[in-house]
Structure 1
């Protein structure tokens, strides 16, 4: 085998290794946040204690909520940059006032209080919160 052929073979091998690494990196970069993910946190009105949190995946907002929580709360939503670019969840604000009554989160809207479940349904999301003990 000539020197030129050996160099070409080595270059092709290096290119193949680089390509495999690039493909793996691209595949892993998509695993960080599922498409359509929306994060939610519910804090007491002073933002001292997190009372609930959730993340959407597959059309369901799943999370946990502190058992026996009650009173005025602040509800925070966050979207990733790709979601904002796709204009997913149009009209959704990042902060809402509300309250917790009988282990139900209510959001204060111009028309009055609405359950978190009804609110999320308008964004085609179902709610699945599991009660836990203690605040975080």
Structure 2
């Protein structure tokens, strides 16, 4: 009898953890895109389920700084090894370009190398 009660209690705790989001990290990788002077945040994204979900200011353009931040859990893994915390780049026509050795590359192609699909939604705003 005690075994059944303990089993039900354990399942209840697991269910609560899953519903609260505490059982899994919210986002292993965060991304922020700022203007070159780091005055205005132009985009934000968070990895979840194999995609980088986020928002970007609709009329953003020009030189940018792209910052990546890994969760504590992710720092102990190797999924994003080699990813630097800061990159230079540009926004042109709503598309984010990142400077890599050899030139500019779309952020979408860059993140695909880390098995992440880019999903940015445009929002209104401006500099």
Secondary structure of 2:121's match? strand
2:95 aligns with 104
Return 5+ residue gaps in structure 1 as ranges.
1-11
Q: State how many pairs are aligned.
A: 116
Tell me if the contact between 1:47 and 1:74 (Cα under 8 Å) persists in the aligned partners. yes
Tell me if the contact between 2:28 and 2:73 (Cα under 8 Å) persists in the aligned partners. no
CA RMSD of aligned residues (A): 2.3
1:123 aligns with 114
Structure with bigger helix share is 1
Residues 29 and 100 of structure 1, relative CA distance in 2, 3 Å threshold: closer
Structure 1, residues 54-102: CA drift from partner, whole Å, max 9, x if none?
1111101111000111000000000011101012211000000001011
Secondary structure of 1:113's match? strand
1:69 matches 2:56 = no
Secondary structure of 2:110's match? helix
Asked which structure has the greater CA Rg, the reply is 1
Moved more, 40-49 or 84-93: 84-93
Q: TM-score, normalised by structure 1?
A: 0.76
Structure 1, residues 35-58: CA drift from partner, whole Å, max 9, x if none?
x62110000000000000111111
Tell me if the contact between 1:53 and 1:65 (Cα under 8 Å) persists in the aligned partners. yes
Return 5+ residue gaps in structure 2 as ranges.
none
Alignment of 1:72-83 (within 5 A): 72-83=63-74
Distance 2:76 2:25 in 1: 15
- Please state how far the C-alpha of 1:115 moved relative to its aligned partner: 0.3
1:4 aligns with none
